[in-house]
A = this chain, B = another copy of it.
Amino acid sequence: MIWVAVDAMGGDLGPEVLIKGAVWAAREHGVGIILVGLKETIEEALANLDFQGLPIKIAPATQVVEMDEAPSEALRRKKDSSIRVAFELVKKGEAAAVVSAGNSGATLATALFVLGRMEGVERPAIATVFPTLKEPTVLIDAGANVDCKPRHLFQFGLMAAVFAQEVLACENPRVGLLSIGEEGGKGNQLVKKTFGLFKQSSLNFVGNIEGRDIFRGDVDVVVCDGFVGNICLKLSEGLADAILRMLSREIKASFSSRLGYLLARRAFDNFRRRVDWAEYGGAPLLGVAGVAIICHGRSQEKAIKNAIRNAKEFAERSVPEKLQQSLLNSKDLFLIKSQVG
């Protein structure tokens, strides 16, 4: 059985939601769950739930990293935090993966500190799956690295291409570099220099893509720095939400529309499910030597459940090992060593 260590203390909505999601995952996906955190809090939350016969354990941790705590501080001062204990379980081989909706900076820093980096990767990055008009697209980096160099972006692209191939079953993934014009000469200094690296690589590089192209689904991997990527991610969430609100408002404004809404409700529900980020369940941290899935701080039960399912699949399919192997086999890693950037 695959065991997943779940940080039961992180997230904006409190331990109950995380623990409910974890129990749900154990029941639905046959995955072993290790709930990591304050023992009493976890036991209290479990008391209200039916988890009889399910593979659920508790790993106590006496400290909690706050959502706005500086990652370096958390790492130095909270050596018995739920995040830290969760990664130690992976290190000791007692768990195959970590899922956390807590402080993402601290999760990243702890993953790096405890598990270390893959060979050839200087900066692990967060990969997010975006729904598009066609197949889903992987955007990397969704927020782990705010100030990047061209070789970092290039490594992100290498990793996400392997991810798309292994996890999304996408053959020969098309990689696009997020910029503000399609020609290679368009963009900021970072993107212009990165373009050259991708151009020389063996990746299926389709060149620059613009913001509007992401949702068309014409590329499988979108590469950008974590500052831009995080803004794209959150802007998309905010806009999708705003559009649905505006549309509901318009519909409620007239009687015939209200009637229409009732009839069209099923379509609305299907649609919401399609753009529901929760369905995708967390974003993997690529480049650390192990499986770590980072969830939105405001993740609901379902998002947690799906993230745990993803973590289990990652571990089952040995995604980190395949990623490392692909990176080492790739001639592209040497490319960056011979280039300035």
Chain A residues close to B by CB (< 8 Å): 68, 70, 132-133, 143, 146-147, 178-180, 183, 185, 187-189, 191, 210-216, 224-228, 230-243, 245-247, 250-251, 253-254, 256-257, 259-268, 270-271, 274-275
CA distance A226 to B215 in the complex (A): 21
Jot down 6 A-B pairs with beta carbons below 8 A, ordered by A: A180-B231, A211-B237, A212-B237, A259-B260, A259-B263, A263-B263
Nearest chain B residue, comparing its CB with the CB of A261: B264
- Find chain B residues with CB under 8 A from A257 CB: 263-264, 266-267
Q: How far is the CB of A214 from chain B (nearest CB, A)?
A: 6
Q: How far is the CB of A48 from chain B (nearest CB, A)?
A: 32
- Find chain B residues with CB under 8 A from A180 CB: 143, 146, 226-227, 230-231, 234
- Find chain B residues with CB under 8 A from A271 CB: 243, 246-247, 250
- Find chain B residues with CB under 8 A from A147 CB: 188-189
CA distance A331 to B214 in the complex (A): 42
Q: Chain copies in the assembly?
A: 2
Cβ–Cβ contact B267 & A238, under 8 A:
no
Cβ–Cβ contact B256 & A238, under 8 A:
no
Please name 9 further chain A to chain B contacts, defined as beta carbons within 8 Å, in addition to the given A231-B231, A254-B266, A263-B263, sorted by A numbering: A146-B187, A180-B226, A212-B237, A236-B239, A243-B243, A247-B267, A250-B267, A251-B267, A256-B263
- Find chain B residues with CB under 8 A from A132 CB: 242
Cβ–Cβ contact A211 & B183, under 8 A:
no
Cβ–Cβ contact A253 & B267, under 8 A:
yes
Cβ–Cβ contact B265 & A133, under 8 A:
no
- Find chain B residues with CB under 8 A from A178 CB: 231
* Most chain B CB neighbours (cut-off 10 Å) among A225, A235, A237: A235
Contacts A231-B228, A263-B263, A265-B260 given; does A216 touch B188 at CB 8 Å: no
Nearest chain B residue, comparing its CB with the CB of A262: B260
- Find chain B residues with CB under 8 A from A215 CB: 235, 238-239, 241-242
Cβ–Cβ contact B260 & A274, under 8 A:
no
Q: Which of B187, B241, B264 contacts A264 (CB 8 A)?
A: B264
- Find chain B residues with CB under 8 A from A226 CB: 180
CA distance A111 to B270 in the complex (A): 49
Nearest chain B residue, comparing its CB with the CB of A251: B267
- Find chain B residues with CB under 8 A from A240 CB: 239, 243
Nearest chain B residue, comparing its CB with the CB of A234: B211
Nearest chain B residue, comparing its CB with the CB of A232: B235
Q: How far is the CB of A264 from chain B (nearest CB, A)?
A: 3
Q: Which of B68, B212, B253 contacts A234 (CB 8 A)?
A: B212
- Find chain B residues with CB under 8 A from A179 CB: 227, 231
Q: How far is the CB of A105 from chain B (nearest CB, A)?
A: 9
The 9 closest A-B pairs by CB, nearest first: A260-B263, A212-B238, A260-B264, A211-B234, A211-B235, A215-B242, A250-B267, A146-B188, A180-B230
